[in-house]
Structure 1
């Protein structure tokens, strides 16, 4: 196994690390044919980046929301704390929260340990996350401890983001630091991970189970640390025994078979087929570690078919990586094709009909919207050259978005989650009376497409998402002048 030796991961041609460029092209073909929306990928073998690509408008320097891939970083923090003697995985959960525990502590809750939080074997019959969000006083730890514990801890697997939150809360109790601050000198700085952010609960505790945002290369470096069993630049960051324990099967989560969600679960890591393990997050955020192949694959995505992504890896990449570290003969033709393909990756924006005679008639008109689940109250669009400017009002707030004509225009908006998020936007005309707006929130998996039908003084606005199933239809009418 080759250990990387600097903050910048070295680059190499695939054949130099024993992977045919043709296999990577086949993987990209499979992803495209199956309509699997990847946003980025980075493949490392023998400590070298052999392929990397971002589907425009996503880019290498833009952090991506990890969702539950955050859990593997939370587990890592517990590994650091255990190695420093700040806690033990056999410490009971209630011992850290004497003021928040129920007056009568049931035996199953009393027996619940940090180990059970790590392995998703808390004994809860269902995920506690909704109970945490519903807590009126914002005390998520208390809400977790009030939840029923129907099973003996360690005997029953339930994927439970509330359990990961409790790991973060315990860490903050014993260190006096948030999860993010605690990991800064221990993990992020040694690996050269800069600008990481993590969502917090109402009481200022990082949520742990989701909410971390970092770049694709940062994910890859994290996986490489685990592949190297805790070593980085000749220094040991994490004990090898912790790495082995965290990535081994700690609890059964199904009967195996063809599902990579039923191969066993470690400490916030999933076991996979083929001797592989991974951290992952909703909509296709992946850190896949392949010990037998001495490889790591980091990916960000916006897809609901996460098993399809893994199947493409197993079908095309895994068998192409031979055990021998010897390089393959150069394949300059395939290398050139792969390089061109990776540079040209893009999320297609529609180019149906670039302009329309209707633009002059509707430009700048404000449409009052009927009551809707999005709480939008008005809509307007103005056109100038190769730009459109959309203004959406939502209760007391007004949101302005610039869009490119059949091209991406980048900016920021508070439209998503009411906090500043980068957005890439484009517009096109599908027909003479139908405008399509495409918004890509490029720090997240989420993309939205709105189709607006103009009929005289009225509009019908339909919106859908690349990963969310809800379809919104809103009607509106030109605002009457006072």
Structure 2
């Protein structure tokens, strides 16, 4: 794997990755087992604090405050906590928004293991509409570092938003082609800019690696069926391209399967479903990422996943969570957190609208409630 795409792993990441395979071998095959947790008075108080934060009195009129739809906690491969807020239920395929990006990265990981593409290959090799950008490599897209001029604004700046145009207006009939028409404003691989466009072009590139029949079923045959996921829905645009940036839906229990796969280094039971090198790439910070002094709590970009690393002298984005914590994050509070050192996978679905929710606060409270105290 070329050094320009995959920087040398830090010692901390090597330790974190090694820990993924060091714990109990409980698997949700075919279904999740549950484990009752015995709690001291202090732990019961910690759980009450977590629930008080995650499930306050819900304001459905103004949609203000923390508005959790589902909270699921897995420890050692077993469900230890689960709560839902109506109308979301245990079987509800919830919209994941940009958690879709990380799920699609896992789909691509299977394709990578099958030898269907290389990280240093030009995207145009698989998606010819990118021929105007021959220097953009697959690894650049995975790091959100294509260099394309893209504005990732949402409902607060819709007239300037590239992603709103892609999903809802002039780009929606052929999203990947719309993205490919954007000019470059930086050299590929030199600048991080979060982009739903980069993620959706990855879906078009996968389309070029497969036959039409293979492509329409590939997320299921490659990832969902091996993991036992049966609730998944993934929308496509009118051209049949998966909207990899935004439109995967699945139940909280099924999303936790993706988290467990990643926690255990891409292994599912006895099968290495994702190559170890692929998971290492996902969990390696983008080499040219510059910590934003104006937004010091921003999580660190990896390969379509978010990392909790202390980087370039800056503090960890989530200071109360271990450094090996990583996450898939989406609009309005969708979150899949993985803490390998604590054997925890946490799924949160939500309808947050005002920015009051804080990742660090939930992670701090969850650890207090669920991390096992060593004798």
Q: TM-score scaled by structure 2?
A: 0.77
Alignment of 1:288-327 (within 5 A): 288-304=337-353, 308-322=357-371
Q: Does 1:166 align with 2:204?
A: no
> Could you say which residue in structure 1 is the equivalent of 2:60?
none
CA distance in 2, matches of 1:325, 1:7: 30
- Relative to its length, the structure with more helix (as a share) is 2
Q: How big is each residue's C-alpha offset from its partner over 1:114-156, in whole Å with a ceiling of 9 and x where there is no partner?
A: 1111111111232343554555793333322221111011111
Q: How big is each residue's C-alpha offset from its partner over 1:17-63, in whole Å with a ceiling of 9 and x where there is no partner?
A: xx934322211112345941101111011112110011123211111
SS of the residue corresponding to residue 308 of structure 1 reads coil
> Could you say which residue in structure 1 is the equivalent of 2:333?
284
> Could you say which residue in structure 2 is the equivalent of 1:184?
220
Please state how far the C-alpha of 1:68 moved relative to its aligned partner: 0.7
Contact 2:299 2:307 in 1 (8 A): yes
> Could you say which residue in structure 2 is the equivalent of 1:116?
140
Q: How big is each residue's C-alpha offset from its partner over 1:88-132, in whole Å with a ceiling of 9 and x where there is no partner?
A: 11111223333x356xx4xxx221111111111111232343554
> Could you say which residue in structure 1 is the equivalent of 2:43?
20
> Could you say which residue in structure 1 is the equivalent of 2:256?
220
Contact 1:223 1:289 in 2 (8 A): yes
CA distance in 2, matches of 1:62, 1:149: 40
* Gap regions ≥5 residues in structure 2: 1-22, 58-64, 152-161, 309-317
**Distance change >3 Å, CA 236–CA 143, structure 1 → 2:** same
**Distance change >3 Å, CA 53–CA 135, structure 1 → 2:** same
CA distance in 1, matches of 2:236, 2:99: 16
CA distance in 2, matches of 1:180, 1:323: 43
> Could you say which residue in structure 2 is the equivalent of 1:155?
190
> Could you say which residue in structure 2 is the equivalent of 1:129?
163
SS of the residue corresponding to residue 249 of structure 2 reads strand
CA distance in 2, matches of 1:323, 1:259: 30
Q: Does 1:64 align with 2:98?
A: no
CA distance in 2, matches of 1:116, 1:243: 16
- Structure with higher Rg: it is 1
CA distance in 2, matches of 1:191, 1:253: 35
